[in-house]
Amino acid sequence: MSTQSDNQTASAVNRSSGWVIFVFFLIGLIASMITGWTAFPKLLYSTKEQPIDFSHKVHIEQLGDCRACHFFRDDGSFSGAPSLDECKDCHMYPMTGNPNEQKFIEEYIEKDKEVPWLNYAEQPPCVFFSHAAHVKGSDMQCETCHGDMGHSDSLREYQENRITGYSRDIWGYSMLPIGEAEHGPRQKMNDCAACHLKKTGSKGDCFQCHK
Ligand code: HEC
Ligand code: HEC
Ligand code: HEC
Ligand code: HEC
Ligand code: HEC
């Protein structure tokens, strides 16, 4: 009997020291996360430049309509970032002395190589997102989710979370209203769910947005 109760005491002690270690581990983890997220955001994100800069403003003056480059295909899928086919008509040969245009022609048009544009809003592979459901189905403006990118003079820098590898726009906890974050608009889970709640009265279940 007494051995059994000794064993019980011993394992209770083991268990409680396990808890103490776990609590210290948690405190350490939380402290380092707080430092990472609040005090040293620069350490948390690495910055990448787009392969070439691009002025939406200049091109909207030329083309008038977003759909010249971002359009829905016949099957309803969204074209996303433009391919060289959307540029070649005008940029087969240099027409300005602009260094961005020169780089674009030398490195991509002449080599017939697609530009590896960085997608600020790129979602993790487990997330399902459809432009058609939002833009066509619910008559939404591009600005609602992307901000006024379509009239900007240049492409802003892309910030990548060093831990997750995701774009800063999509990962992390949302604390500011949509569009008011200092790094631009965001497409985080909470932003999606907040709008769904507002528009439909329900946040939706996990499998609405996850594969
Ligand atoms: C001449 C072609 C062209 C036209 C016209 C154009 N865009 Fe773009 N757009 C681009 C290129 C190139 C990029 C860079 C690719 C990227 O960032 O994914 C881009 C990127 C974007 C992005 C960034 C997506 C992301 O998160 O990475 C948004 C939003 C966007 N365009 C909106 C618009 C809107 C709105 C209009 C109309 C007012 C428009 N564009 C017209 C070429 C064009
Ligand atoms: C309808 C013709 C037209 C199309 C299509 C077009 N461009 Fe342009 N692009 C121009 C003109 C005109 C200029 C020069 C404007 C100026 O300097 O005032 C220009 C300038 C540029 C420049 C230098 C200025 C800047 O934006 O930083 C780049 C880079 C460029 N274009 C890339 C692209 C890419 C990439 C595409 C395809 C996604 C594209 N263009 C499609 C007409 C076009
Ligand atoms: C409801 C929010 C929402 C609306 C409205 C919206 N987008 Fe997006 N957009 C996104 C999300 C989220 C992604 C990332 C999708 C992914 O990674 O699967 C994205 C990605 C993009 C990309 C980059 C795609 C790539 O493959 O590089 C472009 C360009 C873009 N959107 C342009 C537009 C334009 C133009 C409009 C208006 C016609 C628009 N978006 C409307 C949320 C939205
Ligand atoms: C500004 C509002 C808004 C934002 C932001 C938004 N959505 Fe939606 N979403 C809607 C509305 C409205 C519908 C249509 C609801 C319906 O028909 O019941 C919808 C529908 C959907 C659907 C169902 C599509 C279908 O084919 O039935 C999915 C999946 C979805 N959204 C995912 C997302 C994801 C992921 C994000 C964030 C990256 C997002 N949404 C951001 C408003 C929004
Ligand atoms: C309205 C759409 C939506 C709904 C509903 C939703 N999610 Fe998400 N979820 C997202 C988006 C968008 C992301 C990526 C952006 C981010 O991490 O904030 C994400 C990311 C995640 C991730 C991180 C994935 C990774 O690769 O890092 C997990 C885990 C997750 N969701 C779980 C859930 C669970 C569990 C539910 C149900 C309780 C749920 N989600 C409901 C849109 C949604």
Is 138 within 8 Å of 163 (Cβ atoms)?
Answer: no
d(C-alpha 185, C-alpha 171), whole Å: 12
**Which pLDDT score, from 0 to 100, does residue 33 have?**
73
Show me where the domains of the chain are located.
Answer: 2-39, 47-81+117-209
pTM of the model: 0.88
The token pair at 104 is 């674009």
Distance CA 172, CA 164 (A): 10
Cβ proximity of 158 and 120 under 8 Å: yes
CA distances from 5 to 14, 17, 56 (A): 14, 18, 76
Q: Check residue 108 and give left, alpha or beta (phi > 0: left; psi -120 to 50: alpha).
A: alpha
* 188 CB-side CA count, 13 A: 18
Distance in angstroms (rounded) separating the CA atoms of residues 19 and 13: 10
Per-residue pLDDT tens digits of the chain, which is 211 residues long: 444 545 555 555 566 677 888 888 888 888 777 765 565 666 788 999 999 999 999 999 999 999 999 999 999 999 999 999 999 999 999 988 899 999 999 999 999 999 999 999 999 999 999 999 999 999 999 988 888 889 999 998 898 988 889 998 887 655 455 445 444 567 888 888 888 998 999 888 999 999 8
Q: Which tokens belong to 129? A: 């997102």
Spatial distance between the Cα atoms of 146 and 156, rounded to a whole number of angstroms: 12
Q: Which residues have C-beta atoms less than 6 Å from ligand 2?
A: 52-55, 58-59, 62-63, 69, 82, 86-87, 89-91, 96, 98, 100-101, 104
**Which residue shows structure tokens 């507002």?**
198
Q: How far apart are CA 125 and CA 171, in angstroms?
A: 13
Ligand 5 pocket: which of 123, 127, 145 to mutate (most atoms <8 Å of CB)?
A: 127
C-alpha 154: how far from its chain's center? 18
101 alpha-carbon distance from chain centroid = 27
Token pair belonging to 175: 């604390």
Q: Can you give the pLDDT at residue 41?
A: 62
- Residues 6+ positions from 68 with CB-CB distance below 8 Å: 59, 86
- Best mutation site among 72, 145, 156, 189 for ligand 3, i.e. most ligand atoms within 8 A of its Cβ? 145
CA–centroid distance, residue 183 to ligand 4 (Å): 23
